[in-house]
Structure 1
Amino acid sequence: MSQFSLLGTRRFAPFFWTQALGAFNDNAFRNAMVMLVAFQLGLPDAQISLYTNLAPALFILPYFLFSATAGQLAEKFEKTRIIRVVKLFEIAAMAIAAVGFLTHHVSLLLVVLFLMGVHSTVFGPIKYSILPQALDRRELVGGNALVETGTQLAMLVGMILGNSLMLIAGYGTLAASIATIVIAVAGYLASRAIPVAPATAPQLTFNANPFSETWRVLKLTQADRAVWNAVLGISWFWFFGTVMIAQLPNYTRHVLGGDGSVNTLALTLFSLGTGIGSLLCERLSNRRVEIGLVPMGAFGLTVFAVDLFFARPSVASGATLDWWGFLTAQGAWRVALDLGMIGAFAGFYVVPLFAFVQSRTPRDRLSRVIAGNNIVNALLICAASGFGIGLTALGLATPTIFLVTGLINIAVAVYIFTLVPEFPMRFITWVLVNTLYRVRVDGLKQVPEEGAALVVCNHVSFMDPLILMASVRRPMRFVMYYKIFNIPVLKFVFRTAKAIPIAGRNEDPALMDAAFDRIDEALAAGDVVCIFPEGGLTRDGGIAPFRPGVERILARRPVPVVPLALRGMWGSIFSRRDSALHRARLPRRFWSRIELVGGEPVPATEASAAALQARVEALRGDMP
């Protein structure tokens, strides 16, 4: 089922449109205000500069003041009621904005800007914490991708509409006033259809002190190291994006020789690229939370940001081009490609990170973790503004700022991936599996989302653990022959995935006993452990008798057993078919079409080695 089918469901569509309309209105109002202040009131340059620099600070200030409080509200109370109150608040804010527009009262409009910052601050923790309640894990990446795409497009259209309405001679302020109020009302009506989203922590003791609660929320966000580093990754995305977008007006004017329409084109390419990249995440990740896309996204951001430094279209000195004139200039398409691809790789980067935070964080604290994420985001956005201003003050040209930002992106990515090896480990796994195989999966929902379980599977090639790792949504602890565990490059993957090396009793009895102890510890901790009970790779394509080790595990720790079967692996690269035929082992079936299927869990009391072997053989069928 395509991710777009979510737009036809009540559990997602009303929230999607509520969120999109809010982002649309936010940007329509802000750009209409900027047009009024900068171009239509005849204010001196110093006053315009004061207002335009004050505006972002006023909008971001509520994130520092109220994010922690908003996280508590989203945790303690039913989310739909909060959304409706927030949308009514937006209608009131837009009514005040109408007064400011019609009377040209700039101070009043700045107050509304602060109020819209409050609106976004309160809505933020709900925006991402409601998705895991409405969607199952298989839909989480697609849902996030649609929200990210909808937000980007809504922001873009809102910016264009805000500018365009204010250009209507004699009626610009009236048109902007009516439009923003109508959009706010539409957002409220859409929110009325959002299904109930019960409180996830109704027993939470509410802390009214925003400063102490902010500190508490940040500590809570740091509790899980992997989640915290994902939050840092998301916040770095906002830093990167803020620096890049803030430079676009000067870049389009001084480097591209374009007018305002070229700036709009640049924003459009970036937004469309982000939307396309976000939507592709579901397909590339096979509808699972695939953080292996994050390193690829980081790499792409740097490549195209650096190329933007070298891309210089041929524009006559002093020329002022419209968007079409720019596109027809020599070298312009390289710039357009760079902007679009920066957006696309931004989607690859940020969507899996949001899905990772949502899937890894317990429901009763997710809203507060999202609030902590928003606080860190706000800090990095402010830092990005200072960074851009500082580099400009040092005399760096805009393309050089792109170059510096792209190079720093690599350093930040390496730092984060060093702290959390799971990110590069998932990337290596994703690249290897998707390069060598075309995997179809079926029945993997049988692997429980919570609690301990033992997974058994037939063993055909050295790549089997990676295929299972890339296909099963829940992290698994693999038990594998120590010589396979020690294969160069893959050793990093297996060690990061906390695989358990094992040896035969005749080889290393101490290692074997230690392996069974670690298996029991993992199951006691509620993990999923995967074993290949044949004890080695198949030599003829058949399934060898399952060894009694599985019974030893279950006798010590009785947990449900989920049978899985690999189909079509025999004869693929890294299987032993060529060795059995006494010929060179070559990639005769590069990018093989294979299948991984799962069966009903077997209770520990019925899970003998012979019974489990029969289940796996039945699942595999006649496709070795």
Structure 2
Amino acid sequence: MTEKSQFQLLKERRFLPFFLTQFFGAFNDNVFKNALVIMIAFRVADDQVDILTNLAFGLFILPFFLFSAFGGQVADKFEKSVLMRRVKIGEITIMLLASLGFYLNSIPLLIFVLFLMGAQSTLFGPVKYGYLPEKLSNYELMGGNGLVESSTFISILLGTILGGILIAMDSFIPISVAVISFAVMGYLSARAIPLCEAADPTIKLDFNLWRATVKNLKILPEKKVVFLSVLGISWFWFFGSIFLAQMPNFSRTVLGGNEHVVTLLLTMFSVGIGLGSLVCEKLSGRRVEIGLVPIGAIGLAWFGFDLYWVSSQWPDAGLQNLGIAAVMQVSGAYRVCIDLAMIGVFGGLYIVPLYALVQERSDPNIVSRIIAGNNIINAIFMVVAAVLGMVVLGVLDWSIPQLFLITVGLHIVVSLYIFTIVPEFILRLVAWFLVSLVYRVKYKGLEKIPAEGPVVLVCNHVAFVDPAIVMGRVRRPTKFVMHHKIYNKFGMKLLFNAAKTIPIASAKEDPEMMEAAFASVKQALEEGDVVCIFPEGRLTPDGQIGQFKKGIERIMAETPVPVVPMALNNLWGSMFSRHSKNVLKRIPRKFLAKVELIVGDAIPPEKVSADYLRQLVIELKNQAEIANPLSEKQLPDAASKTDSNA
């Protein structure tokens, strides 16, 4: 494995043409949509503006209900690069019709075009998110999704600005040329997208849209973590759509600003979510790191509440139509901008890992249909968000800051529900925190762990956090075998259950538990999973590697699979080890310590023995580049001590 920046993907044919295709599509969507919204606002009678605006929104969302399931079937059945080119040809045709609408100054025709654009986006979405896991490895999913989400929101911002500029010109030609040109550029970039294999060519297309939709939605709950990730993504669109939909009125009625202030606020949000999406790869260590999701959820709640608080204290502006300079002189203006930017940043941390997780954990044969189901639920949540806004602001006649507060409260409830039902999010957060913030983990040889198939990882046992350190760097989901006393300690049983940890006891303590543990290990390996054991059976009392128990030999006898030795270095002396009973003496010396995880070559099952594995782990630890000043003893010569027993 080589450590490459996500931006290296922009130099590769498997990603760059796809990236440009989706960028031009999102950009063109928003050029057209904003031009239409402004036309409605300035060229239609006042008593029809609200009706036509809501009609336009409804007709754009409607295709996601009608055609998402069918689009998911098509995306899984046919080759994706051809589908993307055909969708882009459709976009060119739609934009030619849009040009006619601009020429005739026909709002009804343009609203119909918006419906067609929604249909085109509905068909493109499942293809887009189904393409990524096919062409990107698991190491690249976070970076690839980060680039896509970042560019999408930047294109929304730029498209919105350009649409407003072009429609303000006293001619239909600039806007018509623009939307057709961007559609053509999208098609040309799509022509360079490399061929893909069809996920499931045997699918029989169901043209009954209602039946296909119901069938599609039934697929989602098959994997709980995928389903709840879909709900999390949809919740983000609920949360974001409420805040974004209120920006024009928020700027005018709360801040007293003009349309330039609206642009500033949208810019802060878009730039924020772009930065948050891009930083995901760096924070995740190039893996699908769902531990970032709770961080994103906390940030959304914190800065969403702060936006409510500062805006609720805003001086009464009336309808002053102030420019950016005047608004920024008001106390709290910078906080409003920072809050919106940070909502964007934490929104990126929240949504990118969820999209990557859905792609990684879904069956490759149905991933596009999973995305289609996600789009259906997204549309439902966005409609509910619109209804909530109308009820709170129209029926109840509450303020926009109060709507923000209600949304933040709902966000906290939804997040607690998701993280309670699937504690894996919190478990991954703990692992990420230890690996990224408490320790600085350097790893070597992770590519030696097989990318698929059953395997047993064997590691020395230094500290209580060993499983979290290993989990934080090993790319594949791993089941740990853990002594039952640790399993039931510190109120962590719920989290260990979420990680499918296998509790074990000695034959003297509880023979039934021991046999159940071996049975669970056997079942996990037969299902192709990764199992990690600590053969010493206890934490080291002196920093040295103890004798390995014979349990690994029994595992190999029952289920012969490759075994990968690993060594942890420089955890001895930390607050989680048994170096000292006085925790205060451990914290200053090991906080932010450099820790190493060194992985050796896979060993075939016929060569495995407890003593031989211990020898290999000692040899790996002796390769460590970081000295541990707390360990005064040198490790014993492994070869002289174990050769006679191997």
Asked if the contact 2:434–2:469 (Cα under 8 Å) also holds between the matched residues in 1, the reply is: no
Q: CA deviation at 1:374?
A: 0.4
1:63 and 2:56 aligned: no
State the SS of the aligned residue for 1:149: helix
For residue 327 of structure 1, what is the amino acid of its counterpart? M
Counterpart in the other structure of 2:215? 216
1:23 and 2:26 aligned: yes
State the SS of the aligned residue for 1:488: coil
Asked if the contact 1:453–1:562 (Cα under 8 Å) also holds between the matched residues in 2, the reply is: yes
State the SS of the aligned residue for 1:194: coil
Query: 1:363-393: per-residue Cα shift (whole Å, max 9, x none)?
Result: 0010001000000111111111111001112
CA distance in 2, matches of 1:484, 1:134: 41
Q: CA deviation at 1:514?
A: 2.1
Counterpart in the other structure of 1:470? 472
Counterpart in the other structure of 2:185? 186
Q: CA deviation at 1:622?
A: 4.6
Asked if the contact 1:428–1:493 (Cα under 8 Å) also holds between the matched residues in 2, the reply is: no
Query: 1:543-588: per-residue Cα shift (whole Å, max 9, x none)?
Result: 2222211010110011111222212222333223336x99955442
Counterpart in the other structure of 1:118? 119
1:8 and 2:7 aligned: no
Aligned match of 2:525 in 501, 523, 526?
A: 523
Asked if the contact 1:17–1:187 (Cα under 8 Å) also holds between the matched residues in 2, the reply is: yes
Asked if the contact 1:563–1:616 (Cα under 8 Å) also holds between the matched residues in 2, the reply is: yes
For residue 515 of structure 1, what is the amino acid of its counterpart? A
Counterpart in the other structure of 2:93? 92
Asked if the contact 1:315–1:329 (Cα under 8 Å) also holds between the matched residues in 2, the reply is: no
CA distance in 2, matches of 1:582, 1:305: 37
Q: CA deviation at 1:116?
A: 0.5
**Mean alpha-carbon deviation: is it higher for 522-531 or for 611-620?**
611-620
Counterpart in the other structure of 1:77? 78
Asked if the contact 2:524–2:531 (Cα under 8 Å) also holds between the matched residues in 1, the reply is: yes
State the SS of the aligned residue for 2:222: coil
Q: CA deviation at 1:92?
A: 0.6
CA distance in 2, matches of 1:572, 1:466: 14
Counterpart in the other structure of 1:362? 363
In structure 2, runs of 5+ residues without a counterpart are 629-646
Counterpart in the other structure of 1:253? 252
CA distance in 1, matches of 2:617, 2:361: 30
What does 1:462-501 correspond to in 2, within 5 Å?
Answer: 462-501=464-503
CA distance in 2, matches of 1:286, 1:489: 28
What does 1:73-472 correspond to in 2, within 5 Å?
Answer: 73-168=74-169, 170-171=170-171, 173-312=172-311, 313-314=314-315, 318-393=319-394, 394-472=396-474
CA distance in 2, matches of 1:492, 1:224: 19
CA distance in 1, matches of 2:133, 2:219: 19
1:551 and 2:553 aligned: yes
State the SS of the aligned residue for 2:257: coil
Asked if the contact 1:578–1:586 (Cα under 8 Å) also holds between the matched residues in 2, the reply is: no
**Mean alpha-carbon deviation: is it higher for 207-216 or for 431-440?**
431-440
For residue 41 of structure 2, what is the amino acid of its counterpart? A
Q: CA deviation at 1:117?
A: 0.6
Query: 1:3-42: per-residue Cα shift (whole Å, max 9, x none)?
Result: 1111111111111110011000000001111222221x3x
Counterpart in the other structure of 2:48? 47
State the SS of the aligned residue for 2:387: helix
Q: Output the TM-score relative to the length of structure 1.
A: 0.96
CA distance in 2, matches of 1:475, 1:416: 20
The number of residue pairs the alignment matches comes to 619
Counterpart in the other structure of 2:636? none
CA distance in 2, matches of 1:142, 1:72: 27
Asked if the contact 2:252–2:319 (Cα under 8 Å) also holds between the matched residues in 1, the reply is: no
Q: 1:334 to 1:343 in 2, by over 3 A?
A: same
What does 1:27-38 correspond to in 2, within 5 Å?
Answer: 27-38=30-41
Query: 1:471-500: per-residue Cα shift (whole Å, max 9, x none)?
Result: 212111111122221221433322221111
Asked if the contact 2:481–2:531 (Cα under 8 Å) also holds between the matched residues in 1, the reply is: yes
**Mean alpha-carbon deviation: is it higher for 607-616 or for 137-146?**
607-616
Q: CA deviation at 1:314?
A: 4.9
Q: CA deviation at 1:49?
A: 2.2
State the SS of the aligned residue for 2:508: coil
Q: Output the TM-score relative to the length of structure 2.
A: 0.93
Query: 1:125-147: per-residue Cα shift (whole Å, max 9, x none)?
Result: 01111111111001100100000
Asked if the contact 2:61–2:379 (Cα under 8 Å) also holds between the matched residues in 1, the reply is: yes
**Mean alpha-carbon deviation: is it higher for 403-412 or for 496-505?**
496-505
Query: 1:270-309: per-residue Cα shift (whole Å, max 9, x none)?
Result: 1111111111111111111111111121111111111111
State the SS of the aligned residue for 1:566: strand
Query: 1:207-230: per-residue Cα shift (whole Å, max 9, x none)?
Result: 222111111110011211111111
Query: 1:215-263: per-residue Cα shift (whole Å, max 9, x none)?
Result: 1110011211111111111111111111111111111001111000111
Query: 1:368-419: per-residue Cα shift (whole Å, max 9, x none)?
Result: 0100000011111111111100111211100110011011100111112222
Counterpart in the other structure of 2:631? none
For residue 396 of structure 1, what is the amino acid of its counterpart? W
Counterpart in the other structure of 2:634? none
Asked if the contact 1:573–1:587 (Cα under 8 Å) also holds between the matched residues in 2, the reply is: no
Asked if the contact 1:76–1:204 (Cα under 8 Å) also holds between the matched residues in 2, the reply is: yes
Q: CA deviation at 1:513?
A: 2.1
Query: 1:305-343: per-residue Cα shift (whole Å, max 9, x none)?
Result: 111111144575553221232223322001111111111
Counterpart in the other structure of 1:588? 589
Asked if the contact 1:304–1:341 (Cα under 8 Å) also holds between the matched residues in 2, the reply is: yes
State the SS of the aligned residue for 2:566: strand
State the SS of the aligned residue for 1:411: helix
Asked if the contact 2:280–2:348 (Cα under 8 Å) also holds between the matched residues in 1, the reply is: yes
For residue 93 of structure 1, what is the amino acid of its counterpart? I
Counterpart in the other structure of 1:577? 579
For residue 257 of structure 1, what is the amino acid of its counterpart? G
CA distance in 1, matches of 2:262, 2:140: 35
For residue 38 of structure 1, what is the amino acid of its counterpart? A
**Mean alpha-carbon deviation: is it higher for 270-279 or for 434-443?**
434-443
Q: What's the % identity of the aligned pairs? A: 49
For residue 102 of structure 1, what is the amino acid of its counterpart? Y
**Mean alpha-carbon deviation: is it higher for 48-57 or for 380-389?**
48-57
State the SS of the aligned residue for 1:111: helix
Counterpart in the other structure of 2:514? 512
